[in-house]
Structure 1
Amino acid sequence: METPANGVPDVVDTPEGLSSSVASLTAAGGPIAIDAERASGIRYGQRAFLIQLRREDAGTFLLDSETLGDLSDLNPAFGSDEWVIHSVTQDLPCLQERGMRPAALFDTELAARLLGWEKFGLAAVAERTLGVRLAKEHSAADWSTRPLPKAWLNYAALDVEVLLPIRDILHQALLDANRWEYAQQEFTHLLDFEPKHFDEPWRRTHGLSKLRSRRDIARVRELWQARDAMAFESDIAPSKVLRDRDLVALAQSGVKSSDDIMTKWRRLSRAEAARLFRAYRKASRLTAEELPPKQAGGRERRSPFSHTDLKDRVAALKSAMAELSESLTIPHDVLLQPALVKSLAAQPVVDVADYLAEAGARPWQVELSAPVLEKSLATLPRA
């Protein structure tokens, strides 16, 4: 499939164009296919630079979301109709950032995973359901580029053109497999999805876990915060300033001046090196009481089980879930969140079904997983 059936529409980048698009979408009805293009690894954050929409009776719309900004006028146009998105957890946050809020969802990627499909990327799903091949060579492009090349817009329009027929095929497949109820619960749950918030995002620096010195950890923290501010101000990905591995190396480097930093990392400007050195020096001057703990929160969560016993319990529960996953041909992380399995293992005595439900597991997950987990826990020593 090389070109959209009705050609590539013009990019909507004016308030007047948006109003016209809203009117057309309001007059139509039915599910809305939605996709978003970001500039991950190039620009700061995960905001959408282009949003694609398609409704059968209205056609395809390509919105320059960076120029238009707020797109909340689309919400009443869509009403209570279903938004069809491939990988809701990837696209919904950047849509919400533009003011878009769905009333109902259908995630084609999650549907494919619930059906046990091993390949669930959009191109693979499109080929399996529609017999068409989608080129994905522009998926990692810099979508902040203006004007956007025609080939990129062609690619973007095709992505939403296939979503609605894919949705219908997957819906029927879920019904045939008696998994439509599972899907409905998952799609409803996704309406409240928000990206995970980290109180100390700097602790996610790749390579930080290898550091043993609290002083070096403090340096990573201060360097990370300086790098993040620099990236935000320049609207570039933090890795474009300095990669994580270089940040960790700098924390351990023992540099004495910004010139030392420039000698080791020649990509940095003098102003950037000076700013990073100030952060490094700040961490170097902290008192012992001011240094961050090695672990987030200062201590590990206490468990009535020894480290070895807890490790064995986690392994036993994971093994039980893996067997259930294989028998149902549903991926283990869709069947039940791995973090939930791990937290359950640390509980001394618990009603498994109640625990899973209170922790946010959906009814279908509890129904399938609780008996298996209870059986596995019964074979394990108690605290």
Structure 2
Amino acid sequence: MSDSVDIQPLDVPSGGIPELTNLDIDDAVSALGAGRGPFAIDTERAMGIRYSGRAYVVQIRREGAGTFLIDPIGIEDRLGPLAELLATDVWILHAADQDLPCLRELGFNPPEIFDTEVAGILLGFERISLQAEVAEVLGYGLAKEHSMADWSERPLAPELRAYAALDVELLIELRERLTAMLRAAGRLEWLHEECEEIRLREPKTPSPQPWRKSARRNGMTDRRALGILESLWRSREKLAKERDLAPEKVLPSKVLAELASRKPRSHADVARSPLLQSRMRRKDAHTWWNAISSAWAVPKEELPQRVFHESAEPFPATRNWERANPDAAARWKVVRSTVLARADDLGIRQEILLKPAYQRALAWDGWDDPEEIPILLAALGARPWQVDNVGQVLVAAARRAEKPRSQPPRP
């Protein structure tokens, strides 16, 4: 952050603290429709508190209309007109990939987005939180002490409503300044391409065995213990959904893993376990024992296999390439060093210039001719701006790394 910027604290929204809009949603839609230009949008969820990732507050600000805090709970069937309105202009968000899933659950889909976080990344900002960017670019200080609040609470306290409104208060102005900076740097098209990729990105496929991560963290290799952990995990998931609580609040994953590792043999073993010291945990002892006993009934040959690492990539970790595929290891050194150097020249992080997964795939699969590299990068999913900035540099590096062809002996 520049030392020359005089940071001015901003604690109260310019139009006062908005009330929550719920049954009066039609009035909010009319007011927003009378506004002009893009929509500044943010959401507040209750991650780590509630089971789902749904939005409990949707903040929307538009020039000429002001800021509205939409409480979508209970009026989901009345949000159609708002969805139609929001489809008419650009959305300005910070870290759009975090907000888009819960907005789409409500039927809201953007025609175009401007992600201020991505803009900061492409400009080489050291810190890219909304608070940091607002301070760096606009000179205002936003407090973030309510970021982990329970946004499902009703009524919502005034300080929480103020916090939510401030998250969109300056997004429109921030976008204008960032746009000018990107244009001056010749990187505005980079932003457009990155934002379009985020807008069209398919949701991540949930892991079919989410309990594996906890098993690895706790060094679990016993197949019966793995089976118990899987059964406990499913029971916890059911309880969490029924109670609308985050799974970790029902029983922490670390406790699940420790309980599975002990492989209890009776209900008493579970109920008296020091892992279930609190009254709330002991109340669910019967549920945990049912899960454990069902895992004991599984034949040994049907228990989960020992899997030490789940990888979506069809090749080993790069540290093992020298032994598994020496040619790929040599290409990896070329690709990795070239991307790092080019990213340093541009003043951006290497994973932004070219995804590490693309770097690994390019090096592992290789090329018949270095001139193919830009085409291969595009096929992997690299955006045009990335291919333009690193493709030919990689071609030149690959050429230099080629072994010199042996010359025929002189007669």
User: Quick check: TM above 0.5?
Assistant: yes
Note closer, same or farther for the CA distance 1:158–1:194 as it changes in structure 2 (3 Å cut): same
Please identify, of 256-265 and 37-46, the stretch whose mean Cα deviation from structure 2 is larger: 256-265
Q: Which residue of 1 aligns with 2:288?
A: 276
Do the aligned residues in 2 keep the contact of 1:32 with 1:55 (CA within 8 Å)? yes
Please identify, of 211-220 and 172-181, the stretch whose mean Cα deviation from structure 2 is larger: 211-220
Please identify, of 359-368 and 71-80, the stretch whose mean Cα deviation from structure 2 is larger: 71-80
Q: Which residue of 1 aligns with 2:340?
A: 322
CA distance in 2, matches of 1:60, 1:344: 47
Q: 1:105 aligns with which of 113, 123, 130?
A: 113
Deviations 1:156-205 (A, max 9, x none): 11111111100000010000000001011111112112431134141453
Equivalent position amino acid for 1:158 in 2: L
Q: Which residue of 1 aligns with 2:306?
A: 294
Q: Which residue of 1 aligns with 2:201?
A: 193
Identity %: 36
Do the aligned residues in 2 keep the contact of 1:258 with 1:274 (CA within 8 Å)? yes
Does residue 238 (structure 1) correspond to residue 247 (structure 2)? The answer is yes
Please identify, of 206-215 and 331-340, the stretch whose mean Cα deviation from structure 2 is larger: 206-215
Q: 2:67 aligns with which of 53, 60, 65?
A: 60
CA offset at residue 227 of structure 1?
1.1
Does residue 120 (structure 1) correspond to residue 141 (structure 2)? The answer is no
CA distance in 1, matches of 2:277, 2:397: 56
Q: 2:45 aligns with which of 38, 58, 61?
A: 38
CA offset at residue 212 of structure 1?
2.3
Deviations 1:45-75 (A, max 9, x none): 2111111000011111001122333534223
Please identify, of 371-380 and 252-261, the stretch whose mean Cα deviation from structure 2 is larger: 371-380
Q: 1:339 aligns with which of 328, 343, 357?
A: 357
Aligned-residue Cα RMSD (Å) equals 2.5
CA distance in 2, matches of 1:314, 1:285: 48
Q: Which residue of 2 aligns with 1:362?
A: 383
Does residue 89 (structure 1) correspond to residue 107 (structure 2)? The answer is no
Does residue 258 (structure 1) correspond to residue 267 (structure 2)? The answer is yes
Please identify, of 204-213 and 113-122, the stretch whose mean Cα deviation from structure 2 is larger: 204-213
Equivalent position amino acid for 1:23 in 2: S
CA distance in 2, matches of 1:332, 1:261: 49
Question: How many residues were matched structurally?
Answer: 379
Note closer, same or farther for the CA distance 1:333–1:255 as it changes in structure 2 (3 Å cut): same
Larger Rg: 2
Deviations 1:75-134 (A, max 9, x none): 321333110000001111111111110001000001000000011100111111111100
Q: Which residue of 1 aligns with 2:163?
A: 155
Does residue 28 (structure 1) correspond to residue 35 (structure 2)? The answer is yes
Note closer, same or farther for the CA distance 1:204–1:53 as it changes in structure 2 (3 Å cut): farther
Q: Which residue of 1 aligns with 2:374?
A: 353
Q: Which residue of 1 aligns with 2:137?
A: 129
Equivalent position amino acid for 1:301 in 2: P
Q: 1:178 aligns with which of 174, 179, 186?
A: 186
Q: Which residue of 1 aligns with 2:222?
A: 213
Do the aligned residues in 2 keep the contact of 1:87 with 1:108 (CA within 8 Å)? yes
Do the aligned residues in 2 keep the contact of 1:202 with 1:220 (CA within 8 Å)? no
CA distance in 2, matches of 1:215, 1:298: 23
CA distance in 2, matches of 1:277, 1:88: 42
Q: 1:141 aligns with which of 149, 167, 172?
A: 149
Q: What SS does structure 2 have at the residue aligned with 1:139? A: coil
Do the aligned residues in 2 keep the contact of 1:208 with 1:217 (CA within 8 Å)? no
CA offset at residue 352 of structure 1?
2.7
CA distance in 2, matches of 1:113, 1:299: 26
CA offset at residue 256 of structure 1?
1.7
